[in-house]
Amino acid sequence: MPIYETVVVVKPQFSDPEVVELIEKTKKVISGEGGEILGEDKWGRRKLTYPIKQAREGFYAYLKFQAPTQTLGKLNHHFRVVDSFLRTLTVEAKERKLKPAKAKAA
């Protein structure tokens, strides 16, 4: 199964407990489709670079999960139906290979 990363920005009018509840519902959508949550990070309220739907800030959250490909359709449907998200982005996590550092000549 592929590994995915999702970042969501929740509308600012929601309280912190409401945001946690939204994230839990999103995690249930993933796990309900046979996915497994690998990591979660709540970045908190941050100012947006530019206004989105008259909002100047939003609550950012990050999820890393492993799931079948068809789960993405259900997840995108969840994001469209629930009117609480300003923006969402889901990408497939690629392994990053670091180049070895060049040795300095003495």
Q: Give residue-wise pLDDT tens across range 44-100.
A: 899 988 888 888 899 999 999 999 999 999 999 999 998 899 999 999 988 766 666
pLDDT at 31: 92
What is the rounded average pLDDT of the residues 6-17?
92
The domains of the chain, with CATH numbers, are: 3-7+15-87 (3.30.70.60)
Give residue 85's pLDDT.
92
Model pLDDT, residue 55: 87
Given a cut of 90, whether residue 27 has pLDDT beyond it is: yes
pLDDT of residue 90: 93
Query: Is pLDDT at 105 greater than 80 in this prediction?
Result: no
Give me the sheet containing 36-52, strands edge to edge: 36-52, 55-66, 3-10, 85-92
Residues in a beta bridge with 64: 5, 39
